[in-house]
Structure 1
Amino acid sequence: MKGVPIILENETTTPVETMKDRNRIFSALLEIRDGEKEMITVLEKRDYTGKGVLYMAMELSNAKWKLGFSNGSKERVVTIDAGECCGLRRQVSLAKEKLHLAGDCQVFCCYEAGRDGFWIHHMLEENGTHNLIFDPSSIEVNRRKRRTKTDKVDVKALLRLLIRYLSGERKAVSVVHVPTPEEEDQMRLMRERGRLLKEHSGHVARIKSLLVLHGIRREVNPGLMKKLADMKDRQGNDLGSDLKAEIVREYQRFELVIEQLKALHAEQKRRTKEQNTKALEQIMTLMRLKGVGPQSSWILVMEFFAWRGFKNRRELAACAGLTPTPYDSGASQREQGISKAGSRRVRSMMVELSWLWLRYQPDSQLSQWFHSRFGNGKRMRRVGIVALARKLLIALWRYLETGAIPEGAVLKAS
């Protein structure tokens, strides 16, 4: 830079003695600082093509949507009714005008993952908006005991987070991988089955609880309904008419759940035989392994392997919430257990599948590793089964990707 002396390492220099030299150096430093500020402003307002960029964040609720807009320096916050797609497009056009951006400028949007699912994302993408869905648990928050919490504050925080992420700070927040509508629809069958199983257990527990109130302990089956009319309590008294009627209605709901479960299982078998898709091929491949059944295969494929692309084993384990979370600060060192930040369906299924793997694949390398390290003590086995679940998940992923059978594993007889 003209007028500023350059000082090289190990070079002897004469101190600046005159006020004129000092003023010249100070003026040059001010020029550098102003130039850096100007460049930062340009980078914030422009994308790599030189055109203006509109940043948009959405704070979603059941009744209202809070929208935040920015061009990198100025902000604008408005509110619209929830689900008003036409109103959303109008506000985007108005924001371009108010923030002095071109009508064809790029629009980058973000919102937090939640009950609205992915339909907003698909709608925005169809309209030419680049959208990102943020994982709410990865967003930084103020750790003070009392902090301001309003939709306006939240949407501005999302807006700043979006700009940071698009500026290259990829660790600022975690972005959700969005499935296609077809991939999302494939998950519905197993998720409905999971809800029906919970309802099944709930009906059984409710009927047993009603009977235990009167000292009766019986299994819930068709025989119970046949004897209900003449059933007596522990003191030999007849059961109340309203109690019997409630048990009958509860049992009818119980039978309906069983019928729906049978229908779902029949649909699974039909699809396995008749349809020929990548997901069903992966299910059939997993089922070749002894100890891996149709339900566990279906969950692993539909929730993970059919549509998620994993780069390495660390990404796979993190997505299932099976990665360790050590605490190492100063003199304090301890293990906090697994993160539990991923899919709870896959995580619980892998723990259940790990117990089955020990039973049906006792000679495999994974089973021998488990027994050699966690074979002693009930508590150690419960801790070790989680470690085995992580290793088994990685082995099944490699089996589908490369065809490499887990070491020592046995295939089912064809």
Structure 2
Amino acid sequence: MDRTSNQPAAVAAIRVDLSAIFISLELSKSSWLVTALSPGSAKMTRHSVPGGDLPALLHCFSGLQDKAHAREGKLYPLIVVQEAGLDGFWIHRALEAEKNITSHVVDAASISVPRRSRRAKTDRIDGETLVRTLMAWVRGEPRVCSMVRVPAVEDEDRRRISRECRTLIDERTCHTNRIKGLLFSIGVRDYRPLRRDCRERLEELRTEDGQPMPPHLKARLVRELDRLDLISDQIEAVESERDALIADASETAPQTMLGALRGIGPEFANVLTSEGLFRSFENRRQVAAYAGLAASPWQSGTIDREQGVSKAGNPRLRTAMIQVAWLWLRYQPDTALARWFHERVRCNDGRGKKVAIVALARKLLVALWKYATRGVVIEGAVLSRA
């Protein structure tokens, strides 16, 4: 029986005339491994260039083109793929600026690999797998991998504000907890390092038995407070940059429209815009999937169960949406989404709030996306300002 006769019509769109040189890059700090498959050759070739040496990489590409031209009499374009990782997108942008080079960045987690408990993994095997995956993707095979949509330089730079602010806040929390832990060891329980009079209060502290504070412990606490003051100043500077960015945005910009909603402050508006809503999505499923809030069913034969959200998207956007969902219940109680949440929890006799809040976060993200990009008003939402 001819198996091709039972294939769906969409398979006919798969390309088979691939006149190009396919190249994969395995990037590391010390060296870059180039794996290539050229027309007229049934064997993949491997080349190594020093890590970070872009001219050497382009020279290697020119050598591959020259060999293919000498063998086939034609100058073939280059199609390059690399995994998203530590090097960011600067190599991709540099290659895209060159002539006859098409560059792609692939999500490494989307590439199919053997499911053996002890599978072999080397740079050579990974390079060959990337080349085969790239060829299948260019042919048009569905669901073979997920290519990363590289953000613009401005969008990538804008989201550094919210990420730096989150890092500084975590560092402030670490210093605060360390100070409280050191004082707890001598019996002091009510000291608050973030108060303005924290240094004056430190001079008055005594141990639980009324003795003066040990000198080395006091000196360390002073240094911890100095670090805490530095981090607090940096947080204020980053927040000033964020506020200036929002103030310069137009009235129809997503961060401005989100910041006008009651319960969403400038930090959440900046996070939602810079981490997710700056992208273009075709439908609500793509929005939920990008945040990792899409469902992940497990179906096999008679087994049919739900595993919860996939958590395969942007973790910063997903965390922010969970927090915004709780704030939405507090500051927007009359909206249709808030009423849906309370009705669902009431039907479960008050149980399952954590599951319901994730579902609310998914619905709310889709609603905010429609509101910020298309102007679709959220039912019952109240603005904090005109």
Question: TM exceeds 0.5?
Answer: yes
Task: Summarize the alignment of residues 272-291 of structure 1 with structure 2, pairs less than 5 Å apart.
Answer: 272-273=246-247, 275-276=248-249, 281-291=253-263
Deviation at 1:170, TM superposition (A): 3.5
In structure 2, the residue matched to 1:62 is 29
Distance 1:377 1:191, change over 3 A: farther
In 2, distance between residues paired with 1:350 and 1:257?
A: 26
In structure 1, the residue matched to 2:38 is 71
In structure 1, the residue matched to 2:277 is 305
Q: Secondary structure of 1:225's match?
A: helix
Match of 1:191 among 157, 163, 169: 163
In structure 2, the residue matched to 1:171 is 143
Instruction: Verify: 1:137 aligned to 2:109, yes or no.
Output: yes
Structure 2 alignment gaps of length 5 or more? 1-14
- The structure that has the greater radius of gyration is 1
Paired-residue identity, %: 38
Q: Which segment drifts farther, 193-202 or 229-238? A: 229-238
Instruction: Verify: 1:237 aligned to 2:211, yes or no.
Output: yes
Give the number of the structure with larger relative contact order, counting CA–CA contacts within 8 Å between residues 6 or more apart: 2
Contact kept? 2:65, 2:75, Cα under 8 Å:
no
In 1, distance between residues paired with 2:176 and 2:204?
A: 21
In structure 1, the residue matched to 2:322 is 351
Match of 2:186 among 199, 202, 214: 214
Q: Which segment drifts farther, 371-380 or 324-333? A: 371-380
Task: Summarize the alignment of residues 71-110 of structure 1 with structure 2, pairs less than 5 Å apart.
Answer: 71=38, 73-99=42-68, 100=71, 104-110=75-81
Q: Using structure 1 for the length normalisation, give the TM-score.
A: 0.84
Deviation at 1:276, TM superposition (A): 4.0
In 2, distance between residues paired with 1:321 and 1:300?
A: 14
In 2, distance between residues paired with 1:265 and 1:378?
A: 38
Q: Using structure 2 for the length normalisation, give the TM-score.
A: 0.89
In 1, distance between residues paired with 2:21 and 2:73?
A: 9
Contact kept? 2:250, 2:256, Cα under 8 Å:
no
Deviation at 1:77, TM superposition (A): 0.5
Deviation at 1:270, TM superposition (A): 2.5
Contact kept? 2:262, 2:332, Cα under 8 Å:
yes
Distance 1:384 1:138, change over 3 A: same
Q: Secondary structure of 1:58's match?
A: strand
Q: Secondary structure of 1:322's match?
A: coil
Deviation at 1:402, TM superposition (A): 2.4
Deviation at 1:271, TM superposition (A): 2.9
Contact kept? 1:111, 1:132, Cα under 8 Å:
yes
Contact kept? 1:290, 1:412, Cα under 8 Å:
yes
Match of 1:386 among 358, 364, 370: 358
In 2, distance between residues paired with 1:268 and 1:146?
A: 47
In structure 1, the residue matched to 2:241 is 267
Deviation at 1:209, TM superposition (A): 0.9
Structure 1 alignment gaps of length 5 or more? 1-42
In 2, distance between residues paired with 1:194 and 1:342?
A: 18
Q: Secondary structure of 1:90's match?
A: helix
In structure 2, the residue matched to 1:330 is 301
1:78-126 alpha-carbon deviations (Å, 9 max, x no partner) = 1111011111111112222334356742100001100100001001101
In 1, distance between residues paired with 2:368 and 2:133?
A: 36
Task: Output the amino acid matched with 2:133.
Answer: L
Deviation at 1:200, TM superposition (A): 1.0
Query: What is the RMSD computed on CA atoms of the aligned residues?
Result: 2.0
In 2, distance between residues paired with 1:102 and 1:409?
A: 65
Contact kept? 1:93, 1:103, Cα under 8 Å:
no
Q: Which segment drifts farther, 94-103 or 217-226? A: 94-103
Distance 1:377 1:348, change over 3 A: farther
Contact kept? 1:76, 1:95, Cα under 8 Å:
no
